[in-house]
Amino acid sequence: MNRYRAFTALHTLTLAVCAAVLLVTSLTPSKARSTLSGPAAPGVADGEHPDSGKPPAQEARVEENRQTADHAADKTVAWQVRPGDALSRIFRAHQAPLEDLQQILLADTEYLSLETLRPGTRLDLTFDGEDRFTALTLHLDPARKVVYTRQQDGSFVHQAIEADTYWVTEVLRGTINGSFYASALRAGLSRAQILLIDQLLGHGLNFRKDLRAGDQFSVILGHEMTGEHSTGNTRIDAISLVRSSRTHNAFRFDDGNYYNEHGESVTPAFLRWPTQKPYRVSSHFNLNRLHPITGRRAPHNGVDFATPVGTPILSTGDGIVRRVGNHPYAGKYIDIDHGGTYTTRYLHLHKILVRRGVQVQRGQRIALSGNTGRSTGPHLHFEFHINGRPVDPLTAEIPTAAAIPQAASARFAAQLRERLAVMKYAGSRSDLLTAESPPLFN
């Protein structure tokens, strides 16, 4: 229930922002990107989103031919999810078999895309010429959809489709009056964005003690667009907080990490393991795994640790609990948003110790491991996503206190000059500027 309410509020906010953004979209030379796929899209509007453009290797191949061959007779019914709608009810109402829904949920286990279902979400149900249900399409945002397509053997495959997107930016400005939190909310920042700022500037600044009424801040906020529509995804490109004694800055660079004006990383660090001590790996990250239970090829988007039931599970970084749920196959699970670029996911839990929306710290106990959902035995399935795409948690480059690489320093310096000038001189909110440029890394 809360989740629905929260979304309605966010949507209203997002719509308001979109309206503003739309006015000036024409200013924006787009850096289009064409990729497909990726796991679940962000469950909240503050989520970060893929901009690394790496195509995932794992997408099962949909039988494209059948799509074209019997296409003429296909019939598609569009459905807009209403409050209280459950997938099973939607399927029954359209005479789509519940066994197919089970197969779709199974195909969704490694993505949990359907867990983002909320009022207003559009679903398309496709039937063939003999009225047999063949595909479900989930529209995640104006740029992203997921199609679950029936295969010969009755199983379904998950295919993510992503349209070209680009970013437009705006400047938000505020003056400290009361707490930073209250002042930043007034300036138009969201709770998740404020938390990120707190993490980015928290090294050299005590938000409770050091700020005075009248201190000022500027933020360059990016909005992801596709065509003329906002996708609802946002990101902080730069923040500058000016006190009487000194200025605190953080800039998002092409690698998705944040640095101060000296090029030193201010991205909060992560733990490699979600447990106090390392456990045996019972199944590795593998984009083309033969599933132990279904016998089908499907990606394994995380790593499995052989944790006995009841093992304390730790958040590997500071963040906000984005989702908590219970999936028929993934079991009890938690998604944590670590300020945009990074997210982590924990599956098959026995007991969840945090609620949706709360703030957690690196190393904080968030759950006890278990064996819930479809599982071959007690274990923790742990995922680490960078820009919305799962990577191997054991080998991924997790943020460390590194500096901008030498080779990128000139480019960083150029961006820094531009953004400092934008934050200092550009008008606020109504003036949109583009700050998009080709990525240096990847």
Buried b (16+ CB within 10 A) or exposed e, 178-203: eebbebbeebbbbebbbbbbbbbbee
Residue of closest CB approach to Zn ion? 381
Supply the minimum distance, in Å, between the C-beta of residue 220 and Zn ion: 38
> Considering beta carbons, is residue 356 or 381 the nearer one to Zn ion?
381
> Helix, strand or coil for residue 276?
coil
Q: Which of 110, 304, 318, 383 binds Zn ion (CB under 5 A)?
A: 304
> Considering beta carbons, is residue 30 or 286 the nearer one to Zn ion?
286
Q: What is the DSSP letter of 208?
A: T
> Considering beta carbons, is residue 181 or 273 the nearer one to Zn ion?
273
> Considering beta carbons, is residue 198 or 304 the nearer one to Zn ion?
304
Supply the minimum distance, in Å, between the C-beta of residue 140 and Zn ion: 23
CA distance 386 to 384: 7
Piece of the chain touching Zn ion by CB under 5 A; list 87-95, 128-136, 202-210, 301-309:
301-309
> Helix, strand or coil for residue 329?
coil
The reply on whether position 255 binds Zn ion by CB under 5 A is: no
Show the beta-strand stretches assigned E in 263-377.
Answer: 281-283, 286-290, 297-300, 303-305, 312-314, 319-327, 331-337, 342-352, 359-360, 365-369
Q: Which of residues 346-405 bind Zn ion (CB under 5 A)?
A: 381
- What DSSP letter does each residue of 108-174 carry, written as one string? TTTT-GGGG--TT-EEEEEE-TT--EEEEEEEEETTEEEEEEE-TTS-EEEEEEE---EEEEEEEEE
> Helix, strand or coil for residue 414?
helix
- H helices, E strands: number in the chain: 7, 23
Piece of the chain touching Zn ion by CB under 5 A; list 150-158, 179-187, 299-307, 383-391:
299-307
> Considering beta carbons, is residue 178 or 377 the nearer one to Zn ion?
377
Q: Which of residues 263-292 bind Zn ion (CB under 5 A)?
A: none
Question: What tokens were used for 301?
Answer: 């988007």
Q: What is the DSSP letter of 370?
A: B
Piece of the chain touching Zn ion by CB under 5 A; list 118-126, 233-241, 297-305, 400-408:
297-305
> Considering beta carbons, is residue 205 or 306 the nearer one to Zn ion?
306
Q: Applying CB under 5 A, what is the total number of residues that bind Zn ion?
A: 2
Helix or strand run (H / E) with residue 347: strand 342-352
> Considering beta carbons, is residue 326 or 409 the nearer one to Zn ion?
326
Supply the minimum distance, in Å, between the C-beta of residue 375 and Zn ion: 8
Q: Which residues bind Zn ion (CB under 5 A)?
A: 304, 381
